[in-house]
Amino acid sequence: MEQELNQFFENIKKNFETKYFKISNIKRIEYGLQFFVSSQNWSELVRIYQNKKGDLKIDLSQIKNKEHYGIIDGIVNDNIHFNHFNDELNDKLGYPIIGTDESGKGDYFGPLVAAGVLVEEDTANDLISVGVKDSKLLNDSSVMRISLKIQEICKGKFAIIEISPEKYNDLYEQFRREDKNLNALLAWGHAKAIEEILILNKCSRAVSDQFADEKYILSKLQERGKLIELIQMPKAEKNIAVAAASILARDRYLEKLKKLSNEFKINLPKGASHNVIDVGKTFIEHYGEEKLRKVAKLHFKTTKEIMGKQQDKNE
C-alpha cells in the first residue's frame, strides 16, 4: 500500500514539475503524506491520504488562497497522467459491462445514493479522457464537473437511485424488523440501478464492490436482471464502469445534501465527525428531534452522541 501511495505522489510531483512548480520533500502523516507546492512567491500545503483498502484521496483543504486552489486543483485532478485503472481487469471483464457503486453510506447527513453505468468499449476511453476515476480521488467540484461529462457520454445508459434520509430510515427500520442489515438496503439500491439500465439496454454482466455476499444483490434483481452475471470484488473501482458510477452517485449525494442545507438553512457537513455532532445538536435546537430523520441516518451512533443522555434514557 505504501508503494502505491509513493507512486501516486511521484506522478503528481512529475506533473507539477513539468509546469515549473517546485515540490517539497514529503512528510509522513497519519494515513498518508503531505508536501508543499511552491511557485515564485507562494507556497501551499497538499495532503494525500490512503485508507486500509488502499484507496487514495487528495486533500486540498489546507490551501489558503482561492486562486492557488484553482491552479493546484486543475493540475491535480485534470492533468495527472496516472491511470489507476487495472487494464488487465478491464480486459478480462470485457464490454459491455454495468458498474455500480454507492455514496452517502458513511455520511450521517444526506441521502444514500446508488448508481449504475453501462460502459462499452468505445466509451471506456472517452470516460478516461474526461478524467473519470474513483470519486474518492476527486474533490467535490471535479466530481460535479465530470458527472456531467459521464451523463453526456453514456446518455441513456446510466441510472441513479436516491434514497432520501427519511425513506432510508423507514427502510432500515423495516429491514431490521425482518432481521436484515444495511447490506440488504445497499443491495436493493444496486439492483434497482441495474434493472433501470436494462430497461433500454442489453447487457449480460455487472460488477460492483464486494460489500457482502453476491446473493444480496442477486436476490433483489427482478425479471430483467435474473440472467445477468454479477461479479463482486475488492477495489472494484479499478474498473472504469464502477468508477463512473461512483462519480454519479457522489454528485447526486452532494446535490441533495446542499438542497437539504438550503431547505433547513443549516450547513449540513459530510462524514460523521465531531463537527457533524455539533451541527446535529444545533439542528435539534431549531427543529426538534423528530425532524432529524428528514436529514440524517438515525441508526448511526452519531445520533446517540447528538441526543446525549436524553436518548440513553429512551433505550
Mean pLDDT (the chain, rounded):
86
Contact (Cβ atoms closer than 8 angstroms) between residue 249 and residue 103: yes
Name residues of the chain where pLDDT drops below 50: 79-83, 309-315
Kindly tell me the burial class for residue 294, based on how many C-beta atoms sit within 10 Å of its own C-beta (0-12, 13-18, 19 or more).
Answer: middle
Q: Where are the chain's structural domains?
A: 2-78, 87-256, 259-310
**Which pLDDT score is estimated for 43?**
94
Options 3.30.390.30, 3.40.350.10, 3.40.50.150, 3.30.310.240; CATH of 2-78: 3.30.310.240
Rounded distance between C-alpha atoms, residue 178 and residue 118, angstroms:
33
Rounded distance between C-alpha atoms, residue 24 and residue 22, angstroms:
7
Contact (Cβ atoms closer than 8 angstroms) between residue 196 and residue 222: no
Rounded distance between C-alpha atoms, residue 203 and residue 272, angstroms:
37
Instruction: Please tell me the number of Cα atoms within 13 Å of 156 on its side-chain side.
Output: 5
DSSP assignments along 244-277, one per residue: HHHHHHHHHHHHHHHHHHHHHTS-PPSSSSHHHH
CA 123 to chain centre: 21
**Which pLDDT score is estimated for 87?**
59
Which homologous superfamily does the CATH classification assign to the domain defined by 87-256?
Ribonuclease H-like superfamily/Ribonuclease H (3.30.420.10)
**Which pLDDT score is estimated for 23?**
93
Residue 138 in grid coordinates: 476527486
